[in-house]
A = this chain, B = another copy of it.
Amino acid sequence: MHRRIDIYDSTLRDGAQGEGISFSVLDKINIVKALDEIGVAFIEAGNPGSNPKDLEFFEEVKHLELKNAKLVAFGATRRRDIRPEEDANLQSLLIADTEHVAIFGKSWDFHVTEIINTTLEENLRMIQDTIRYMQEKGKKVVFDAEHFYDGYKNNREYALATVRAAAEMDVHSVVLCDTNGGTTPMEIYSITREVCEQLDVPVGIHCHDDSGTAVANSLLAVEAGAQQVQGTFVGFGERCGNANLAIIIGGLQLKKKFQCIPEENMELLTPTARLIAEIANIRLQDGMAFVGKNAFAHKGGMHIDGVNKASHSFEHIPPEAVGNERRFLMSEVSGRSTILKKINKIAPEIQKDSPETIAIINRLKELEHEGYQFEGAESTFELVIRKHLGKYKPFFELENFKIMNEKPAAGDQFSAYAMVKVRVEDAVKMTAAEGDGPVNALDKALREALEGFYPILSKVALTDYKVRVLDTKEATAAKVRVLITSSDGERSWTTVGVSTDIIEASLTALVDSIEIKLIRDIEEKMKYYL
């Protein structure tokens, strides 16, 4: 194994600059957990100076116990002609209360004189004053040299002076940023190499994808000596996005044997990428290297034959190495062993070639064709398996429901009502409820009806509700996929429903969620009685 590379994720800061991305505090917490789990070294979690909401988040995240990652708060050098203690943004940075802070400063002379309108000397003082101030407050400082490569090409001496100014202060690291994403691979390699030779502190690289080369530029910078790679896990970011860390980790760790994350976590690469995209409600590109749905999908007959003879004949790495899977677009047999593993959790005796396995695989394919997706909704998947194996008996029957949504002639109030009739064996219960929209009304009525039969359900709360429109071209007649996450305070689980009717899709996920809780309850009791 070669040297260690620090992976520095900025999904929550630079990634949030991407179009259509806006994270809630809970989204952010979940992303931090996922990044920590896979083992990145640093998580740049916000810019508390420019966005007061980020401070709220830093307050919340403080209570999280992280095992791998360190949180970083991000901000600019002090503004020109004032002292650091007078700079409100720097004060916000301190309030964020992280061990590391990232300070970005200008390295391009043109930006210094024309955009922030100060002198080249004052800019150097801004860099050093800010670092000194932060260090006095006990912070470890990552210095981001904004527009470093453009600066170098315009005024080599000055650009180098800015990073030397930071390096002299013995910062944690100096990060060379290709802020506009316009530097070509060979330039990145040679300039980074020169800087690595000149500085005594670790050097990092921060690329943007405006030339479609952010991943390669990052790899080349590492070959040139960089020890830290900044980016966003699935490439979110302004304009064309930031360097995609999932792809970079794949390239560095599998091909170049650098250590980016713990080796045993490499198979989390695909699930983590998909989870982060799901949280952001952004569709992961099917063709994304390593982690995309099509990354190992073979269509040409010759390629499929080749892969069947020897997978490396048409695959640069084994898909399992990154937790992805091979797909044959015309034939099938994909992922049978993955599915078998899940079946064996419920019925350990079933084999790879059992008729049950084949039947379940066929059912899964049907469901996937309908728009289901079981990544992150394993509870619904468990119910599919149980239903096929006969290890399932419905806990209740939803005999009838009716929803009304109306706008009265007077007033702007919208209102939604639901009426529900459930049967549990011979007993029937009817309830009605009013809610914030039809789904909420239905949810309330259904719970009220069932809690009489199953009081344990009162412990269950829905903690997450997501809607994804599939095939958006069908507009309001399109299918939707609804994901519901529930929690009983100890465990949480996710279920999924698909329909052209959002009410039906929600109801399917809701019913599955309730059944899973009731199954867990029985499993719990069996521990004592079996």
Seen from chain A, the residues whose Cβ lies within 8 Å of a Cβ on chain B are: 17-20, 22, 24, 26-27, 50-51, 110-111, 114-115, 179-182, 184-186, 189, 209-213, 215-217, 219-220, 223, 235, 238-241, 244, 247-248, 250-251, 255-256, 281, 285-290, 292, 294-303, 305-306, 309-310, 312-317, 329, 332-333, 373, 375-376, 398-409, 414, 416, 421, 435-440, 442-443, 461-478, 480, 484, 499-504, 506
Contacts and interface: CB of A to CB of B under 8 A. Distances in A.
9 contacts: A20-B373, A50-B333, A184-B255, A210-B316, A211-B215, A212-B216, A404-B405, A437-B477, A437-B503
A121 to B, nearest CB: 21
A24 B478 CA distance: 12
Contacts of A299: 17-19, 238
Contacts of A235: 287
Contacts of A238: 297-300, 303
A180 B292 CA distance: 15
Contacts of A18: 287, 294, 299
Nearest to A480: B467
A26 B471 contact: yes
A464 B475 contact: yes
A309 B430 CA distance: 66
A213 B376 CA distance: 26
A205 to B, nearest CB: 14
B435 A463 contact: no
Given A212-B247, A251-B213, A477 B295 contact: no
B464 A310 contact: no
B298 A504 contact: no
A20 B376 contact: yes
A40 B302 CA distance: 28
Contact of A185 (B17, B185, B484): B185
A476 B213 contact: no
B405 A247 contact: no
Contacts of A416: 501, 503
Contact of A463 (B255, B475, B506): B475
B180 A375 contact: no
A18 B286 CA distance: 10
B289 A437 contact: no
Contacts of A292: 240
Contacts of A287: 18, 209, 235, 239-241
* Max count, chain B CB within 10 A of own CB: residue among A400, A438, A506: A438
B26 A472 contact: yes
Given A285-B285, A437-B476, A442-B476, 18 more contacts: A180-B312, A180-B316, A184-B251, A185-B185, A212-B244, A239-B296, A404-B404, A405-B405, A405-B438, A414-B503, A435-B477, A437-B499, A437-B504, A438-B502, A439-B476, A463-B473, A465-B472, A465-B474
Contacts of A467: 467-469, 480, 502
B219 A501 contact: no
A396 to B, nearest CB: 14
Contact of A289 (B209, B248, B302, B506): B209
Nearest to A213: B216
A502 B437 contact: yes
Contact of A501 (B26, B27, B373, B405): B405
Contacts of A315: 180
**A210, A288, A462: residue with the most chain B Cβ atoms closer than 10 Å:** A210
Nearest to A406: B402
Contact of A300 (B17, B306, B476): B17
B297 A239 contact: yes
A256 B19 contact: no
The 6 A-B pairs of least Cβ separation, nearest first, read A182-B316, A216-B216, A462-B475, A437-B501, A212-B289, A436-B500
